[in-house]
Amino acid sequence: MSVTSRYREAWEGFWRDAPEEEGAVFWDAEPALTAALHLALFEPHLADPGLAMVDLGCGNGTQTRFLADRFRHVVGADLSGAAIEHARHADPAGQATYRVLDAVEKNETESLHAELGDANVYMRGVLHQAEPDDRQPMVDGIAALLGDRGRAFLVELSEDAKPVLLGLAQSPAGPPPKLAPIFQHGIAPGEVADASVPEYFRTAGLTILASGELPLTTTEFTPEGTRIVLPSKWVVAGRTS
């Protein structure tokens, strides 16, 4: 099973058109407001911090580079080759390694696991962008990357984010400038039921070790100058036996 060509092409087009500068993309908030907060929740549950860390759905690699300052081996992986080119261009020192990966394709995640061994996985706001039929295979792919010792941290928009996004998209003035390209490229956010996220992990043979709520910070602001944050939920998962 692999992602649809329409979905892949939508992301390729989005990242080909995306500006190079950090913070120009809707979700590309600075790590102090994103990965740093998540890492504080994730690190206490790492069974082995020395494992490779995979930033799944890394985009242009802003969070990947932050993780690479804190873990010995970090891999930024994304479905889009254009995104990976952005990430490599922004990381001339090669702090992390980057690769195109279809996380829905079992052979690809199993091959990466064979290369890295058990790995820890960080994934932020990716599941809701996947086609509904691809979500369980994606979490199955995360389980393959974890192996026996790895742990996954996933933060995902909650159901409460939908009315916020709809309100922004349907504003009389049109969607905010950084949100508009998402819709223009046909990758409008989809809803993931809150209860389904932990169920995806359980179906993949993983145990939920911790969970909670935390606003997902964006780079966009309202006309009044307030930064837009979206309700989200997070989980830490892994095998316990």
Mean pLDDT of the region 102-110? 95
User: pLDDT tens-digit profile of 173-232?
Assistant: 777 788 888 888 887 666 788 899 999 999 999 999 999 999 899 999 887 888 999 999
Placement of tokens 């696991």 in the chain = 113
Using alpha carbons, list the distances in angstroms from residue 50 to 74, 88, 134: 10, 23, 30
Please give the radius of gyration of the chain, using alpha carbons only, rounded to the nearest integer: 17
E strand or H helix at 232: strand 232-238
**pLDDT of amino acid 162:** 81
According to DSSP, the β-strands at 151-157 and 207-213 are unpaired
In degrees, rounded to 5, the angle at the alpha carbon of residue 165 between the alpha carbons of residues 190 and 6 is 35
Among 31, 7, 38, 23, CA closest to 213: 38
Tokens of 4: 């649809």
CA dist 207 and 191 (Å) reads 23
pLDDT digits (tens, 9 = 90+) for 37-75: 999 999 999 999 999 999 999 999 999 999 999 999 999
- Tens digits of per-residue pLDDT, 111-138? 999 999 999 999 998 998 888 899 999 9
